[in-house]
Structure 1
Amino acid sequence: MDVKRSLRVIAGATLTGVLVCATAPNAAADQVRDDQWALDYLEAESVWKITKGKGQVIAVIDDGVNADHPDLKGNVLKGRDFIDGGGSGSPRGGANHGTAMAGIIAGHGHGPGNSAGVMGLAPEAKILPIRADGSDATGGANAIKYAVDQGASVINISQGGGIKTETEAEAIAYALRKNVPVFASTGNDGGAVEYPAAHPGVVPVGGVQRNGKIWKNSNRGKETLLTAPAVEVVTTGGASDLNGYGIGDGTSDATAYASAAAALVRAKHPDLTAGQVVNRLTQTAQLPAGENGAKVPDERYGYGSIRPLAALQEDVPKGSKNGPLAVPEQNAGQQTGSQKTEEDLALEKKQDREFVILWTITGILAFLFVGAIVLTIVLVRRRKRNRNNGPGGPGAPGGYPYPPHQAPGYGMPQQQQPYGQQPTAPPQQPPYN
């Protein structure tokens, strides 16, 4: 199938002029940072005081990522190529779209204190680059499953224009069963939400302007869940004559920002399911002024534009396992209990172990309790017998071997001498000289 990339225009007279004409690289890089308006819009400086996404892996399924870009170096893993085959997620033939998405997500800048160049919303996260353009539905599905199996905590697909396929739908269902949220762009022609974003279980992301209003080319539909900055976005991945930077419009950029926000939430709240992570983003999203009365999810905005700081800080109930995500048909049985996820099975095993431990402890306590009662009865009976028989009991040490008052010399008649006999006088001792 022919898959249309979300449009990114490497244009903008002011930025282009600076990037091409500046003789000092640092000056150009500083201009790059200054023009990242989305960082202020998303309150990035305050967000980074809480988390920068450390420990999170975001899979970027795109046209490859340049791991040698100065603003990405060290943050890009090896990845894989599902287009030409091979063990690397590097771009081919000057492609730079995936590199641009990676910069929005996990760029860390460069120079002293990383003060120059592109800073991503989750600058301490890692990027898993996967080269897959959706031209082969099987390849796209395999890319999603590969991302899950490689430990990705979030999947970003800044692509659109595909068609609905069973293999891709199953791959998305697989990701959710493994607790990995999938973010995809709604599209850039102002029409309906495109695939893969339209698949149940995906988080479709539309784009807004600097004022928070919907971007005119952002696709819309009941599937839309979130929006994020999508115009005049400066990032990595420009042509070589622009020093590797570019500026453009597109729901691709919005999707990358939303994926980064999800990674931040996962870093702060690692116990949440994929659906509960998305729930935090939707519950804290905000509609622009004048749209506050709109029923959400709105076809243009979804629940509104992401607010990462609020998603990290506000008291948001966990909610259900799937949150606002539409449950893929392949996972529908989990809702009724006819199928059990690995998470459910692990919970059952844990509960079984706790049950065994509880009853073992209960049995031991019951045994000790009964033993204490028996011992108490024995001691009480022995004490009562002692009171009745005196210390030690008959014949025991310290007892009385004779009836009371009949011991020799106590109340017995004195022994009589034989009749007719007189006591014999004691013999006389010789006198002592």
Structure 2
Amino acid sequence: MSRGDGVIVALIDSGVDASHPDLSGQVLEGYDPSGTGLNTHPTDPHGTKMAGLIAAHGHGNGDGAVGLAPGVKILPIYKTTAGDTDAIPEDIKWAVDHQAKVINISLGNPIFKNPKMADAVAYAAKNDVLIVVAAGNEGNSSVSFPANEPGVLAVGAVDKNNNIWSRSNHGPEVMLTAPGVDIVGTGACDGGQYCIGPGTSDSTAYVSAAAALVRAKFPKLTAGQVANRLVKSALVPPSLSGAKLPDEHYGYGIIRPYEALTQDIPAGSAQGPLAKPAGAGDTGSGSQTPGATSPGGTTAGTAGPGSIGQPPVIKSSNAKSSTVLFAAALGVVFLAAVIAVIVVVSRRRKSGQSQPGQAPYGAQPYGAPQQYGTPPAWPQQAQPPYPNQPQPPYGNQVPPPGYPPQQPYQDNPYGQGGNQQH
């Protein structure tokens, strides 16, 4: 019915191993703000596993892993945290500007909420991009950030018997659930090419893949209408028969991709079941991306149902762009300082207020050069990695004083054996 062809799914994660045999040709260059290439050469297998659940195609006669939407192109965005600013909001805007139609965020923090997230979600909504986020793995009665941000689609996890995973966070924001226990996927764990483990990360990847399948077959649907089709086709467990939905654990039910593609479901409103983003009144200055859906539900540049054109060639951004912006900002500050000094000099010359024994203000230099280097690196917390696995590039770091700790990725098995070779 659909393979997700023509749809770009952005993966804000630890990067994706583009050389994995099951992902060859599926991974776009993406973005690493540090410029070190971790977007396609990661040291943490988490993002590679998520990419495989979405878009892996195997590598032979029945060998390897196959994702739910093997026609999708993955746009890997290496999620970093620099100083006191969480990078997720900027990562979302970068993904939107580079033509992603679905953004997968399989990570979260149960205690910290970034105030910039509202604008980023509103920006995605304005440009018709669906954001799918993991509810979290703490077993809490509240979902993690950014799954608790209005406008995103929050996802919980179920096991093979359609029972809620005991560590799946729950709350009124949960909209859908999907398989998330003992999930096998691509990623170098314990020396092998595959990992197995639980987490709402995995269930989130499945929902993102299902959304991509729907977007490929029904390109004129808005992001909210895609969510509506997933919700209306979801399996409601017998235990919820007659109950008011959404349920705080299951949301509207468990995704059924085939039914989402085949059932007769009215498009509904453009917003669908998604909450209005908190930052909808200030969606930024960006223009609508090519191929974005208009409020009327028509898509510009499409060639009809099932075809939204080939993904664009996307070049990787790097630290140079950040340097240019930083230099421009310094230029503005410097110019403002020059103007302020000129004003002060002019006023003091008029009033004759030069200090005795000192050169007048206009004859003095502007002061010693300012040191604008990068913030000091966060100290590393001594935590042993899983057996035979590389230390994650983030998630096990201690923030500077005054900042909350960062939460590990959402398929952290919490002592249940870790990711194991399969």
State the TM-score, normalized to the length of structure 2. Answer: 0.65
What does residue 100 of structure 2 align with?
A: 152
In structure 2, give the amino acid aligned to 1:144.
I
Matching of residue 122 in structure 1 with residue 69 in structure 2: yes
Which residue in the other structure is 1:56 paired with?
7
Say how many residue pairs are matched. Answer: 289
Instruction: For residue 56 of structure 1, report the CA deviation from its aligned partner.
Output: 0.7
Query: Kindly tell me: are residues 68 and 289 of structure 1, through their superposed partners in 2, closer, same or farther at Cα, counting changes over 3 Å?
Result: same
**Per-residue displacement from partner, 1:342-397 (whole Å, max 9, x unpaired)?**
689897xx9xxxxxxxxxxxxxxxxxxxxxxxxxxxxxxxxxxxxxxxxxxxxxxx
Output the CA distance in 2 between the equivalents of 1:152 and 1:345: 16
* 1:212-361 equivalent positions in 2, closer than 5 A: 212-239=162-189, 241-242=191-192, 244-331=193-280
The one-letter code of the counterpart of 1:141 is P
Query: For 1:291 and 1:344, how far apart are their aligned partners in 2?
Result: 34
> In the TM superposition, what whole-angstrom CA distance separates every residue of 1:70-114 from its partner, at most 9, and x where no partner exists?
0001100000113x235661244x3100000000000000113xx
Quote the Cα distance in structure 1 between the aligned partners of 2:92 and 2:37.
Answer: 16
- The question of whether the paired residues in 1 share the 8 Å contact of 2:119 and 2:282 is answered with no
- The two structures have a TM-score, normalised by structure 1, of 0.63
Match of 1:209 among 152, 159, 170: 159
Shift in CA distance, 213/227, structure 1 to aligned 2, threshold 3 Å: same
The residue number in structure 1 matching 2:90 is 142
5+ residue gaps, structure 1, are: 1-49, 335-340, 351-433
In structure 2, the residue corresponding to 1:147 is in which secondary structure? Answer: helix
Superposition deviation, residue 170 in structure 1? 0.9
State whether residues 229 and 257 of structure 1, in contact with CA within 8 Å, keep that contact through their aligned partners in structure 2: yes
Q: Distance in 1 between matches of 2:185 and 2:162?
A: 20
Structure-2 change in CA distance of 1:293 and 1:240 (3 Å): same
- Partners of 1:346 and 1:287 lie apart in 2 by 30
Counterpart Cα distance in 1 of 2:211 and 2:255? 10
* Structure-to-structure mapping, 1:66-105, within 5 angstroms: 66-82=17-33, 84-86=34-36, 89-92=39-42, 94-105=43-54
Residue pair 2:127, 2:293 contacting (<8 A) in 1 also: no
Q: Give the alignment partner of residue 146 of structure 2, picking from 196, 204, 212.
A: 196
Contact 2:180–2:198 at 8 Å: present in 1 too?
yes
In structure 2, what is the equivalent of residue 46 of structure 1? none
1:223 Cα deviation from its structure 2 partner: 0.4
Q: Which has the larger radius of gyration?
A: 1
Residues 245-298 of structure 1: per-residue CA shift (max 9 Å, x gap)? 010000000000000000000001000001000000011111222222221110
Q: Which has the higher helix share?
A: 1
Please give the secondary structure, in 1, of the residue aligned with 2:76: strand
Q: Pick from 124, 132, 144: which aligns with 2:79?
A: 132
Matched, 1:161 2:80: no
Q: What letter corresponds to residue 27 of structure 2 in structure 1?
A: V
Determine if contact 1:91/1:131 at 8 Å carries over to the other structure: no
Name the SS for the 1:159 alignment partner: coil
CA–CA separation in structure 1 for the residues paired with 2:29 and 2:155: 27
Contact 1:60 1:130 in 2 (8 A): yes
Which residue identity does 1:238 align to in structure 2?
A
Change in CA separation of 1:211 and 1:345 when aligned onto 2, cut-off 3 Å? closer
Identity value in percent? 50
Measure, in 2, the Cα distance between the counterparts of 1:295 and 1:65: 39
Native 8 Å contact 1:138 1:168 kept in 2: no
Cα distance change on mapping 1:214 and 1:155 into 2, 3 Å: same
CA distance in 1, matches of 2:234, 2:81: 30
Q: Secondary structure at the match of 2:191?
A: helix
SS in structure 1 of the partner of residue 133 of structure 2: strand
Measured at CA, do residues 263 and 134 of structure 1 come closer, stay the same or move farther in structure 2, by a change above 3 Å? farther
Counterpart CA distance in 2 for 1:345 and 1:89 is 31
Q: 1:134 to 1:288 in 2, by over 3 A?
A: farther
